[in-house]
Structure 1
Amino acid sequence: MSPRSDSRTTATGRGTGRRLPGPAVRSALGALAAMVVVTPFLGAWSYDSARRAVSAQAAAPRVEPDALPGEIVKARASAPIVLAYHDINPEPTNEYTLTPQQLDTQLAKLEAAGYRSLTTEEFTRYLTTGKTPAPHTVYLTFDDGTRGLWAHADQVLAKHKMRAASFLITGAVGTHRPYYLSWAEIDLMKASGRWDFQDHTHLSHERAAIDAAGHQGSVLANRLWLAKEKRLETEEEYRTRVRTDLDKSLRAFSDHHLPAPRLFAYPFSETAGPTNLAARNTSVLERLLRERFAASLTNVSSRPLPAGPRAAAVRQVQRLEVMRATSTDTFVKQLNEWVTRSPAEIPEPLRNPEQWRFPGSPSGTGLAALTGKGVANGTYVSAVHLPMGTADWNTYQVSATVAGLSGTKTSASVEVGHGSLVPVTVTVSEAGLRVTERPADGTARVTTGKLTPAATHRLDLEVSPGGVRITVDGGHAVVARATKQLDPARTSGGVSLAVRNEADKAAKVAWPRFTALRVKP
C-alpha cells in the first residue's frame, strides 16, 4: 500500500484517512496555536504596561547666582501671572521644549522675587473672589501631559517648593511612549502634592481638513471636511463630536480617580483664529466649555485678557507662553509687562519707553514716534502702554498735552479703556475735537466739536465704569460712554496714544507730539 492510501488510524486521528504529522511538526503547530491564543493577551499586557510604566526621574540641576540677570518688578500687589509651558527635556527637539536648566533658572527668578505658585483650586478661587494667598503669585501650567513633566520637571518644582498643573490630552496618556505620561506616573505626580491635572481634550489636539481644498484647522474650533461625503460637517454633527470628545475626557479623569478638572486649555490656543462655524454660532464651543469648566485658558487672544476681573467676566484667561528661545532676560522683561500696576505706580508713562508696545507698527518703532519723530513711512502710528499690566484699570485720570498741531492734516489721540468692550478715543487737531465710542455691538458713535485754534491742546479725562468725562483746555466737559452697565469688567482698560500726519511730504509738516502724559487714581 502506498503512503498516499494509508488509512491507519490512532486514538487522535480516527477515521481521518490522513497521515498524522510527526512529533516535530505537532510541536511547531502547538506553539503556533499557543501564539494565536496568547498574542492578543500579550498585546493587551504590553499596552497596559506602557500605560502603567514609570520612568526614572532626573535630579534638579544647579543654578549659579550669576545665571539670574534682571529683576522682576515688585508692584504693591499683582494679579496672578499664568505661565504656559509644554515639555521639559535635556535635549529639546522643538521650539516648545525647555531644558531642565531653563525651567530651574526661571523658577529660581520667581522664588528670589518672592513669588508663590498657586494650585488650580487657589487660582479658580481667585477668578471668583479676586483674592490670592500672597501678593505676588504665578499659576504654572504645562500643556499636553508629556513624560518630561515627571522625568525632568517634577524635581525642579520640588527644589523650589512650587506647584503646577498638567493639562492632559486624556486619550494620549500611556501612548507613544516615552513621549506622553503614563497613568502610573500621573498617580505618583498627584500623590506628591506638587501637581494637579486639568483638561486639554480627549483626542482633539490635532488639525484636519476644514474645506474641500484641504486647508488645515483645529478640529476643536472648526467643522471638518468629510471627504467621502464631499461636504462639511453640519453644525449639529460638529456639536455632537466636540461634546463627545469633552465628555470622554471627563470620564477618563473619573475612571482614573482624578478630581474633575476645573479648567480647559485650548489646543493650539486658537481662540482668536479663523473658524468655519457660522457667525451666529461661533460661541457654540464656548458654551460647551462653560457647561463643563470654570474657565478656559489660551495663549492668544483678540484683546488682552490677563488673569483679573476682565478675564474672569468672560471666563477666558490669557497665559504668557514660555518657549525654548525665551532667555532669562526676556523672561524677566515679559513678566514685568504682565505685573499688575496701579495708576499711582506709573504716574508719568512717557518716562518709561520700555513700557510701550506698538502693535502693527514697523519693527523698531519706539516712543520717539509719539514725541516728535513720527515714522518715516506711513501717516499714522499708535502705541499701547502696558496692555497686560493695566487691563483692569477702571477708575483713573489722564492728563495729556499735545503740541505741534497744524491744520486738519495732523492730529493726536488718547484712548482710555484700551481692550475693553467700550473703549473711548479722544482726538484733537488744531481746531477740532472728535470723541469716538466703540461699543461691543461694533457701531461707532462719534461726537465732534470745535476748539479755539492752537498748536497745543491739553486733554483731561476722568475715567470710571459709568462714563468718561473729557475736558479740553479746561473748557466745557463732554461725557462719553454714559451707561447703566457699571460692570468694571466691561469698561476696564488702560491708555493708548496715537499721532497722525497726512500732510504732503513735500510740505515738510512736522509730526504732532505728546509733551506730557500723567495718570493718577
Structure 2
Amino acid sequence: MAPRIITALFEIFIVVVLLGVFSILIGKYFFTEELRAAPEQARSAITMELAYRQAKSDYEYFPTPKTFKAEGNANSIPILVYHGLAETEYKSDVLAEEFKEHMFALKKAGYETITMDEFEQFMRGEEQLPAKSFLLTFDDGIKTSYYHADPVLRVTNYTAVMFTISQQALKDKSRYYLTRDEVKEMQASGRWEIEAHAKDAHNLIQIGPDGEMGHFLSNRKWFPAEERYETVGEFRERISTEFRDAKTELDEGFGVNTENFAFPFGDYGQNTHNFANAQHVVWEEVHKVFPRAYYQSWPSRGFTFNYAAPTEYKIKRITVYRETSGTKLLNALARGTDKSLPHHDNLTHNRGWVPVWGTSRIHDEKLELRPDGGVSGALAFLDGTALWREYDFQAHVKSFDSQSLSLLGMFNDNENYLSCDFYDCSVSVRQVTHNDTITLATTPASQSVTVPRGDAVLGIRISENKIACSVGGETVITAEQPENSRKTGGIGFKVTDPAGRYGGATIHSVTVDSASFVEGFDEPRVVEGTGNPGLSTDFDWWVNSGGAMIQQNGVGSTLRGPANQDTEWQLAYADHEDTESGAYPQNIFRLITRSTWKDATQQVRFRILDYRASDSPHRNESNGVLLFSRYADGDNLYYAGVRVDGAAVIKKKSYGEYHELAYKQVFPGAYDLAQNPNLLPLNTWMGLKTETFNKDGSVHIRLYLDRHDNGNWELITEGVDSPDQHGPEILHAAHAGIRTDFMDVEFDDYRVNTS
C-alpha cells in the first residue's frame, strides 16, 4: 500500500477517535442524565420482561383455590388498595411475592378487575357488572408498585388505577416515585389509569405552637411567625386550592381528566387534632372538584363494598396488609360479598361478622361479644347484608350476662340502625339515626315479659313499615317504622353493660328469612321503565320493559291503549318491532321486584282488559300472563302462568334458550293465531300463584290458579328442573315479578313470601 494512502487512513482514524472523545466529553458535561437514563430504561425493560416470564410460569402452576361460585351480576364492588410493593420488608409495604399470590388467587377464583369508567357506570346504575368484579388501586405513584405489579397484571390481564401525587409525578428524576416519563410509559401500557392523590397534601404541616406536625387536610395550620392558627376561611381556601391544583397538574401534565381523589393516609378530617369541623369542610371542598373521593374503610363505617348509588361520592377501599395470604384475601372478599335470603349461620366459621367496638370472635361454633378496652359494650354486624329489605331475624342465644342484648336491623353503620333491646323484664324498640337514639316503644310495666338469660330465641322482624320484637317466637312488642327509616340494611348484635361488669353474650346460631312483601297498589304512582334496576326510582319495583307501571284507583296496571304520538314512551319504543312503532310499549311488559327470593310463594290477582292481535313476529301462542321466579337476568329465569292458547305452562330460560318444564291445557277452545288468538277471559279477575323451592338438588315449581277470584286455589301443574337437564339449575335467590304480552292488564294484591 502506498505511503500516501496509509497516511490518509491514519488521519481519518485520528479524526474519528477525536470526534468520539469530543462526543463523550459533551455528553458527560451537558447530557449526563440522558446517558444514565438510557441504559437504566433498558435495564428496567429487561427486568420487567424477565419478571413477566417468571410470573407467567408461576401462574401456570398456581393451584386453583376453593371458593364460592360467582353467579349473576354484582350488587356491590370491592376496591383493594396497595401502597408500595417491596422485595424485602420495608415499612408496611406488601411483599412483591405476596402481591403476586394475591392476584393469582383472585384470578384463579374467578375475580376480574374493572376500569374506573366501568366502576363509574356501575355506581350510576347504568351498567351491570359480573359477580366477582373488583377495582384494583395503588396510592402514591411509587416506583416499586409499578415495576413489581405490572408484570403480574400483564399475566392476569388485570388493570389497575394509580392515585398519583402530582408534584412527584411531574418530576424528571426520582429514586422513589415514578417520574413523568415512567408515568407516561405506565399509561401507554393500557393496563394503568391515573387519578389524583395529592399535590402537597402528602406532606405534614405544623399544627401547633410546640412544633407538632399533622396531616395537611385534617388540621388547621399553625403560623409560627404570627403565633396563630389559620382561620376556617384560610383552611378552606388552602385545601380547596390543593384539590384544584392536584387535578389541574395531572390533567395538563398527562392529558387526562381526573375525576377521583384518594385521601392521603385515608384521612378526610376524622383524625384532626385541632379542627372539630374538618370532616364537613373537607368533604364539601373535595366534592366541588372531584365527583368521587376514596378513603380506607374501617368497621364503624359499615359495609366494606360499594353499592350502586348515583349521588354517593364517598367511596370505600379495603387496605391489603403485608402477611395476608391469597386464601385470607379471598376469605375477606367472601365475607363482604352480598348474602341472599334466607340466610342461616351455624357459626362454624366467620361468614362476615365485623366487630365495630368491643370484641367479637367466632369459636367452638358460637359468636361471643364482650366489652373491651374500657368501652361499656360491644357491637358487631354481618357484612354483605346492606341490600336486605324486609326480613325476620332470629338468634338462638346461648347466654347473655350484660345489662341488655340488642338485635339490630336495617343496619347501615354504627350511627344508623333499628334495634330490639332485650332486658330481664322488658323489651324496647329503638331507632338510631346519625347517632341520635329515639325510643319507639317499650313494653309497659303491667306487661309481664321474661327474657331468659340462656338458651333463648330472640328476634326482630321488619316488614310492612313495622318492627316487631319476639321472645321464643312470640311477638312481645311492635312499633311503626318512622318515615325517615331506611328501606334497606343488614343485621347485627349489640351488648350494653354500663356498670362495667364486662358482661357479654354468646350466640349459638342465626336465621334470617325474607318477610312477606305485599303490594296493594294503593297509593297513586308511576314506576318509569329503566334499562337497569339501579336506575329505578322505586324502592320495590323495576320496570324492565313496557314503558311504565301505572298505579291508580287501588290497582296497578300496564300502560293502557295507544300512546299519543311523540310522547316520551312512543318515541322510546318507536323502533321496537313488538310495539307497533311505539304505539303500544306495554306489548312486552316486564315488572321485576327489587328484592330477591329463593324458596318462595308468589301470587297476584289480575284482569286482562284488552288483547292486541299485533303483526309482531313475536306474537304467538306462548304469550300470556306469567309470574317470574328466580329472575337472575333477562336470559336466566323461570316463569309460570297461563297463555293465550289456554294452556298453563312452566318454563326455564337458560342462557337465552327456553326449556319447557310443564304444560297443561286449562281453558277450553281452539287457538288460532289469526282467527282465535286469545282463549283467556277478558275483564275477569283471576289469581295466579307459584311455589318455588329446592329439593334434592333440583328446582321444583308448582302453579296454582284461582279461576273465579274466590280464594279457591287449584294446583294445575308442576315442574322440576333436574341437574344437567336444561343447563345449570338456578338454585340461588333472585328476583320475582310479572310478565304480560300484547295485553293491557290490571294487577292487585301482589305478594311474595318465603315458603
RMSD between aligned residues: 3.8
In structure 2, the partner of 1:85 is 82
In structure 2, the partner of 1:415 is 408
What is the distance in 1 between the residues matched to 2:255 and 2:373? Answer: 57
Tell me how far 1:123 sits from its aligned partner.
Answer: 0.8
- 2:58 is aligned, of 55, 63, 71, to 63
Q: Deviations over 1:22-61 (max 9, x none)?
A: xxxxxxxxxxxxxxxx9xx969x969x98xx957142233
Structure 1 or 2: larger strand share? Answer: 2
Letter of the 1:321 counterpart: T
What is the distance in 2 between the residues matched to 1:42 and 1:463? Answer: 76
Structure 2 CA distance for partners of 1:213 and 1:392, relative to 1, 3 Å: farther
Q: Which has the higher contact order (CA 8 A, sep 6+)?
A: 1
Query: 1:150 aligned to 2:146?
Result: yes
Structure 2 CA distance for partners of 1:267 and 1:474, relative to 1, 3 Å: same
In structure 1, the partner of 2:535 is none
2:297–2:318 Cα contact (<8 Å) kept: no
Letter of the 1:102 counterpart: E
Query: 1:230 aligned to 2:227?
Result: yes
Query: 1:393 aligned to 2:388?
Result: yes
What is the distance in 1 between the residues matched to 2:309 and 2:365? Answer: 31
2:65–2:108 Cα contact (<8 Å) kept: no
Query: 1:242 aligned to 2:242?
Result: no
Matched ranges for 1:365-444 at <5 A: 365-366=361-362, 382-387=378-383, 389-402=384-397, 410-420=403-413, 422-440=416-434, 442-444=436-438
In structure 2, the partner of 1:212 is 209
Q: Deviations over 1:246-285 (max 9, x none)?
A: 2222221232243211211010001363325654563111
Tell me how far 1:298 sits from its aligned partner.
Answer: 1.0
What is the distance in 2 between the residues matched to 1:263 and 1:372? Answer: 40
1:150–1:185 Cα contact (<8 Å) kept: no
- 2:281 is aligned, of 284, 291, 303, to 284
Structure 2 CA distance for partners of 1:311 and 1:334, relative to 1, 3 Å: farther
What is the distance in 1 between the residues matched to 2:222 and 2:500? Answer: 51
Farther-moved stretch of structure 1 (468-477 vs 119-128):
468-477
Structure 2 CA distance for partners of 1:433 and 1:180, relative to 1, 3 Å: same
2:218–2:267 Cα contact (<8 Å) kept: yes
Gaps of 5+ in 1: 1-37
Q: Deviations over 1:170-226 (max 9, x none)?
A: 111154612111222222222221111111011211222212233332101211111
What is the distance in 2 between the residues matched to 1:171 and 1:378? Answer: 44
Structure 2 CA distance for partners of 1:372 and 1:190, relative to 1, 3 Å: closer
Structure 2 CA distance for partners of 1:417 and 1:209, relative to 1, 3 Å: farther
2:369–2:378 Cα contact (<8 Å) kept: no
Farther-moved stretch of structure 1 (285-294 vs 320-329):
320-329
In structure 2, the partner of 1:164 is 160
Matched ranges for 1:241-280 at <5 A: 241-271=238-268, 273-276=270-273, 278-280=275-277
- 2:292 is aligned, of 290, 295, 300, to 295
Tell me how far 1:328 sits from its aligned partner.
Answer: 2.5
1:82–1:139 Cα contact (<8 Å) kept: yes
Farther-moved stretch of structure 1 (409-418 vs 132-141):
409-418
State TM-score, norm by structure 2.
Answer: 0.55
Tell me how far 1:500 sits from its aligned partner.
Answer: 6.0
Tell me how far 1:140 sits from its aligned partner.
Answer: 0.3
- 1:308 is aligned, of 301, 306, 312, to 306
In structure 2, the partner of 1:318 is 316
Structure 1 or 2: larger helix share? Answer: 1
Farther-moved stretch of structure 1 (243-252 vs 164-173):
243-252
In structure 2, the partner of 1:179 is 176
What is the distance in 2 between the residues matched to 1:246 and 1:154? Answer: 28
2:393–2:513 Cα contact (<8 Å) kept: yes
Q: Deviations over 1:86-142 (max 9, x none)?
A: 12343452212431x222221111111111101000111111117433221010001
Query: 1:448 aligned to 2:446?
Result: no
Structure 2 CA distance for partners of 1:482 and 1:72, relative to 1, 3 Å: same
- 2:344 is aligned, of 341, 344, 347, to 347
Matched ranges for 1:496-515 at <5 A: 496-499=492-495, 513-515=506-508
Letter of the 2:493 counterpart: L
Tell me how far 1:504 sits from its aligned partner.
Answer: 11
2:392–2:462 Cα contact (<8 Å) kept: yes
- 1:127 is aligned, of 123, 132, 138, to 123
Structure 2 CA distance for partners of 1:291 and 1:119, relative to 1, 3 Å: same
What is the distance in 2 between the residues matched to 1:225 and 1:417? Answer: 43
Q: Deviations over 1:140-181 (max 9, x none)?
A: 001001122432221211110011100010111154612111
Tell me how far 1:291 sits from its aligned partner.
Answer: 1.4
What is the distance in 2 between the residues matched to 1:379 and 1:250? Answer: 42
Tell me how far 1:398 sits from its aligned partner.
Answer: 0.8
User: Percent same amino acid among aligned pairs?
Assistant: 21
Tell me how far 1:427 sits from its aligned partner.
Answer: 1.6
1:73–1:339 Cα contact (<8 Å) kept: no
What is the distance in 2 between the residues matched to 1:377 and 1:141? Answer: 34
Q: In structure 2, the residue corresponding to 1:103 is in which secondary structure?
A: helix
Tell me how far 1:439 sits from its aligned partner.
Answer: 1.3
1:405–1:429 Cα contact (<8 Å) kept: no
Q: In structure 2, the residue corresponding to 1:200 is in which secondary structure?
A: strand
Tell me how far 1:305 sits from its aligned partner.
Answer: 4.6
1:370–1:499 Cα contact (<8 Å) kept: no
What is the distance in 2 between the residues matched to 1:466 and 1:296? Answer: 34
Structure 2 CA distance for partners of 1:240 and 1:118, relative to 1, 3 Å: same
Report how many aligned residue pairs link the two structures: 467
In structure 2, the partner of 1:474 is 474
- 2:511 is aligned, of 485, 497, 518, to 518
In structure 2, the partner of 1:28 is none
1:306–1:317 Cα contact (<8 Å) kept: no
In structure 1, the partner of 2:188 is 191
Query: 1:334 aligned to 2:341?
Result: no
Tell me how far 1:442 sits from its aligned partner.
Answer: 2.4
In structure 1, the partner of 2:92 is 95
State TM-score, norm by structure 1.
Answer: 0.77
2:121–2:127 Cα contact (<8 Å) kept: yes
In structure 1, the partner of 2:353 is 356
Letter of the 2:482 counterpart: A
Structure 2 CA distance for partners of 1:216 and 1:482, relative to 1, 3 Å: same
Gaps of 5+ in 2: 1-25, 515-755
Letter of the 1:219 counterpart: F
Tell me how far 1:233 sits from its aligned partner.
Answer: 1.0
Structure 2 CA distance for partners of 1:186 and 1:410, relative to 1, 3 Å: closer
What is the distance in 2 between the residues matched to 1:308 and 1:117? Answer: 15
What is the distance in 2 between the residues matched to 1:67 and 1:303? Answer: 35
Tell me how far 1:374 sits from its aligned partner.
Answer: 6.9
Letter of the 2:69 counterpart: K
What is the distance in 2 between the residues matched to 1:305 and 1:293? Answer: 23
